[in-house]
């Protein structure tokens, strides 16, 4: 269970008491709600959005504390940590009520006036320590804040969806070369390994059976490879018939085991692949010569089992020459 205490949003000093009006005749409380709504709509994350929503809800309603609770138990708190935690504990256990009117449901925990409202599947509650502290229009003001928060949350979901589509291969759903480059940027010397996967005979599939069959082969293979990887392993499609796997390992032997799992998964799916592996080496070792890499393959042993030198070296391991596979990766012998 995660607790995140919100911080007050930076706006102008607190508004005058309820009933005051602006020069244009609009109530001060409504104007403040609209100012907060602008900040809510420009939030760049769900955490920031809910934090700003709680800060706005507490200010415009006159509440002392506020909390938001997700179905998975994540909580956001605003105001006194002790009071907000107490409110969240009671709200989590109490029957859910989202009528939007002032209620005495939380009087037992020292907050005789409260309002609860739904923000999608998130429960939002504001409460005051005295019965007369909430402003008369608190319910409608909270509804205004929540409506803008809901719109802001939908905007964030749409942006996240577009970001995933921009970073993903539309055919297989795997992330492509840009996230792959970013992942390599966070690699750890001696721990991060890269496995390059080529589909053998892919051009023949397209030529003899058509591009639809080729697409189906890629989707089937992607699912097969994904099924044998660990939860924190990353699989990418970085070319027409090329995939890459980035993993954190404790040594070359572990990389070889992962490569063998990939080969077996492809075989079960009816495909032949070649796999080359490289592990990042410390900067002090980059540039030292080593044996050129070999690729484990699902093909029979013997000369046919080793891809041509051009395929061995493509993208991953310059051969012959120093072992440099993107940012100092050293080939892992089969």
In this structure, are 194 and 270 located in the same domain? yes
| Token pair 């409506």 in the structure block, residue | 147
pLDDT of 138 strictly over 60 = yes
pLDDT of 305 strictly over 90 = no
Contact 108, 89 (CB under 8 A): no
Whether a cis peptide bond, with omega within 30° of 0, leads into 320 is yes
Contact 307, 199 (CB under 8 A): no
Task: List beta partners, residue 248.
Answer: 192
pLDDT tens column, 218-237? 999 999 999 999 888 999 99
CATH number at residue 116: 3.30.450.40
Contact 247, 230 (CB under 8 A): yes
Q: Hey, is 227 helix, strand or coil?
A: helix
Q: What is the pLDDT of residue 311?
A: 37
**C-alpha–C-alpha distance, residues 50 and 55, integer Å:** 9
pLDDT tens column, 101-110? 788 889 988 9
**C-alpha–C-alpha distance, residues 42 and 172, integer Å:** 33
User: Can you spell out the DSSP letters for 298-317?
Assistant: SSPSSGGGS--HHHHHTTT-
In this structure, are 137 and 62 located in the same domain? yes
In this structure, are 181 and 161 located in the same domain? no
pLDDT tens column, 142-193? 999 999 999 999 999 988 877 777 777 888 888 888 889 888 888 888 889 9
In this structure, are 133 and 251 located in the same domain? no
In this structure, are 153 and 17 located in the same domain? yes
Give me the phi and psi of 86, to 5 degrees please. -60, -45
pLDDT tens column, 40-76? 999 999 999 999 999 999 999 999 999 999 998 899 9
In this structure, are 41 and 108 located in the same domain? yes
User: Which residue, 166, 195, 212, sits at the end of a domain?
Assistant: 166
Q: What is the pLDDT of residue 10?
A: 43
Q: What is the largest CA-CA distance in the chain?
A: 88
Contact 41, 56 (CB under 8 A): no
In this structure, are 99 and 186 located in the same domain? no
Any domain includes 51: yes
In this structure, are 207 and 88 located in the same domain? no
Q: What is the mean pLDDT of the chain?
A: 78
Q: What is the pLDDT of residue 37?
A: 83
Q: What is the mean pLDDT of residues 78-85?
A: 94
pLDDT tens column, 259-272? 999 999 999 999 88
- Rounded to 5°, the CA angle 325-329-334 comes to 90
Number of compact structural domains in the chain: 2
In this structure, are 153 and 193 located in the same domain? no
Q: What is the mean pLDDT of residues 322-328?
A: 36
10 vs 276 pLDDT, higher one: 276
Any domain includes 171: no
Contact 46, 152 (CB under 8 A): no
**C-alpha–C-alpha distance, residues 202 and 27, integer Å:** 69
pLDDT of 113 strictly over 90 = yes
In this structure, are 156 and 181 located in the same domain? no
In this structure, are 219 and 265 located in the same domain? yes
Q: pTM of the full predicted structure?
A: 0.54
Q: 218 is in which domain, residue-wise?
A: 177-331
User: Can you spell out the DSSP letters for 58-125?
Assistant: HHHHT-SEEEEE-TTS-EEEES-HHHHHHHHHHHHHSPP----S-B-TTGGGT--EEEEEEETTEEEE
Q: What is the pLDDT of residue 231?
A: 86
User: Which residue, 123, 142, 166, sits at the end of a domain?
Assistant: 166
């Amino acid at each position: 269970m995660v607790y995140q205490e919100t911080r007050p949003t930076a706006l102008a000093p607190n508004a005058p008491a309820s009933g005051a009006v602006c020069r244009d005749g609009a109530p001060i409380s409504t104007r403040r709600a609209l100012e907060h709504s602008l900040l809510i709509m420009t939030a760049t994350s769900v955490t920031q959005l809910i934090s700003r929503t709680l800060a706005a809800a507490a200010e415009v309603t006159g509440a002392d504390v506020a909390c938001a609770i997700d179905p998975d138990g994540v909580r956001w708190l605003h105001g006194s940590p002790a009071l907000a935690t107490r409110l969240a504990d009671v709200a989590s256990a109490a029957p859910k009520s989202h009528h939007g009117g002032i209620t005495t449901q939380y009087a037992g925990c020292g907050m005789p006036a409260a309002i609860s409202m739904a923000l999608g599947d998130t429960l939002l509650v504001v409460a005051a320590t005295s019965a007369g502290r909430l402003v008369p229009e608190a319910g409608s003001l909270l509804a205004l804040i929540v409506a803008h928060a809901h719109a802001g949350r939908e905007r964030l979901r749409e942006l996240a969806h577009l970001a995933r589509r921009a970073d993903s291969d539309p055919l297989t759903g795997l992330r492509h070369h840009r996230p792959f480059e970013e992942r390599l940027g966070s690699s750890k010397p001696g721990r991060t390994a890269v496995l390059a996967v080529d589909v053998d005979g892919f051009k023949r599939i397209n030529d003899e059976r058509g591009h639809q069959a080729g697409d189906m082969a890629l989707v089937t293979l992607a699912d097969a490879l994904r099924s044998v990887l660990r939860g924190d392993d990353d699989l990418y499609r970085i070319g027409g018939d090329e995939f890459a796997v980035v993993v954190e390992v404790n040594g070359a032997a572990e990389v070889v085991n992962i490569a063998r799992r990939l080969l077996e998964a492809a075989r079960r799916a009816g495909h032949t692949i070649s796999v080359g592996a490289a592990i990042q080496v410390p900067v002090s070792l980059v540039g030292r010569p080593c044996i050129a890499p070999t690729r484990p393959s699902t093909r029979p042993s013997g000369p046919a089992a080793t891809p041509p030198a051009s395929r061995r070296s493509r993208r991953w391991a310059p051969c012959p020459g120093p072992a440099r596979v993107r940012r100092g990766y050293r080939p892992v012998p089969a």
